[in-house]
Amino acid sequence: MKHVVYLFTRYFHDIIIAVEAILANKMKSMLTALGIMFGVAAVISMLAIGKGAQQEVLEQIKLVGVNNIIVSPTDMALGAPDAGSGGTGSSVRRFSPGLTLQDAEAIQEAIPSVGKVSPVISLNYHAVLEGRSYPVGLEGVSANYFELLNVNLADGNIFNEEQSEGGLPVCVIGDNIRNRFFSTEDPIGKYIKAGDTWLKVIGLIERRDFTASASDEMGISSTDNKIFVPVKTMLLRFKDRARINPEVLESVARGGDGGATSDDKVVTATHQLDKIIIQVEETEHLSVTADIVKRMLLRRHSDIYDFEVTVPELLLKQQQKTNDIFNIVLGAIASISLVVGGIGIMNIMLASVWERIREIGTRQAIGASRKDIIVQFLAESTLISVTGGMIGIVIGVIMARLINVMADIQTVVSLFSVLVAFGVSATVGIVFGYIPAKRAANQDPVESLRH
């Protein structure tokens, strides 16, 4: 510490001379710092985009749940070649029941690595209360659903075992439903009508931020505009799409094609479920469990691919890895601006040495050492670079905000990016200012005074 104080005191006069030189040439100093300004601004804005993308991925992982596998039905039934046909393309009648509640129960019971499972049935209804009607999403789920997707309650409780197994008319509502129908009162214990069924409100879901892109990519949506009921309540009191359909039976009897893409005759019933959410206990078992689920459902569906198995967390992590590579490339491109800015500083400082060669000779003649000259010019280049870096930080923060507002891209300016930008700007000033400072110190005093 004493050594630092000594150095500062020793060279304080040289630093003051550098500051005076900068103030005496404000326009030139500002133009010299432009490269650093825009380089730092570009680096900060690029890092902000990268940080925003990372945070968005983390939010999406939270929305889809940790270690979850999602099984969803497909519109097209893809029939696998039947082993008994011998690859001759003979006509084989096969029927798939579609995605059913029994599938979810079988996955829960048969696969050891599976922790919790929740079937999901989604329907569009109108909620009605006291003459007011409002379109809502009605979802039949199990009590596990709220834990699997990290859905918290603001008040009340989720379904208990008696309510779930008995198919009782109870529900948990989203925040928008509360605001629409119960804005001035506590909704817990009140009733709301969906279709022809009156439902007792037993819980209120906590409002949470929702990223629209998560819905597009991962098939999830906000809970704020939904009413959740037990899955058996949905099947008993609203709609069960797996009930025997005479048209399907007739199609099976005729050997209808049901959308098959091979010579096999494939018929798929209407899917009872819209989704099955499966939580795996250990992350390392995700891929293996997904494969087991796929094989199990194929056996249950007569080797017909009328479903799709996805692992959102792995997809999101792959997306994050792609984003990281993209951000590294963008950061490298932005860093080129800093290098160009540093070269600009070196160029201007070299020209400044030539312009001020008489001043250098005069200082040396009255007792200034080579170290004093080096400190003077090094301080000048560093101050220009640091000042440009500080202005660049402000510009970078503003750019990040504008990108967020105008391009609707999430950006997060972190303290780390600001410190990195500031440190890089100071380093650029020192590195690219050293050569001009060294050249100034090596000038012959006699030749300098003659000039």
CA distances from 223 to 154, 199, 235, 269, 360 (A): 13, 18, 21, 29, 72
pLDDT at residue 247 above 60?
no
| Burial label, 135 (beta-carbon count in 10 A; 0-12, 13-18, 19+) | exposed
For 353-383, how does the pLDDT look when each residue is reduced to its tens digit (9 = 90+)? 888 888 888 888 888 888 888 888 899 899 9
Distance between CA atoms of residues 347 and 119, nearest Å: 68
For 158-183, how does the pLDDT look when each residue is reduced to its tens digit (9 = 90+)? 999 999 999 999 999 999 999 999 98
For 194-245, how does the pLDDT look when each residue is reduced to its tens digit (9 = 90+)? 988 999 999 999 987 655 444 444 556 778 889 999 999 999 999 888 776 5
Phi, psi of 73 (to 5 degrees): -75, 155
Of 347, 330, 268, 332, the closest CA to residue 300 belongs to: 268
Comparing 302 with 117, which gets the higher pLDDT? 117
Q: Please, which residues bridge with residue 119 across strands?
A: 276
| Tokens, residue 52 | 């925003």
Distance between CA atoms of residues 283 and 68, nearest Å: 9
pLDDT at residue 350 above 80?
yes
Residues ≥6 apart with Cβ < 8 Å to 326: none
Comparing 440 with 220, which gets the higher pLDDT? 440
Confidence at 53, pLDDT banded by 50, 70, 90: confident
Distance between CA atoms of residues 289 and 295, nearest Å: 10
Distance between CA atoms of residues 375 and 366, nearest Å: 17
Concatenate the DSSP letters of all residues of 339-400 into one string: HHHHHHHHHHHHHHHHHTHHHHHHHHHTT--HHHHHHHHHHHHHHHHHHHHHHHHHHHHHHH
Residue type, 115: G
The pLDDT value given to residue 11: 75
pLDDT at residue 255 above 80?
no
Pure H helices in 194-261: 212-218, 231-233, 246-254
The half-sphere exposure of 113 on its side-chain side, counting CA atoms within 13 A, is: 16
Query: Widest CA span of the chain, in angstroms?
Result: 111
The pLDDT value given to residue 250: 60
The pLDDT value given to residue 89: 45
Average pLDDT value for residue range 384-399: 92
SS3 content of the chain, % helix, strand, coil (to 5): 55, 20, 25
The half-sphere exposure of 253 on its side-chain side, counting CA atoms within 13 A, is: 6
Q: What is the mean pLDDT of the chain?
A: 82
Distance between CA atoms of residues 423 and 154, nearest Å: 45
The pLDDT value given to residue 189: 94
CA distances from 268 to 89, 145, 252, 260 (A): 20, 27, 9, 10
Comparing 265 with 17, which gets the higher pLDDT? 17
pLDDT at residue 4 above 60?
no
> pTM here?
0.64
CA distances from 426 to 32, 98, 261, 374 (A): 14, 65, 65, 16
pLDDT at residue 20 above 70?
yes
Residues ≥6 apart with Cβ < 8 Å to 230: 140, 141, 142, 143, 159, 163, 164, 167, 168, 170
pLDDT at residue 305 above 70?
yes
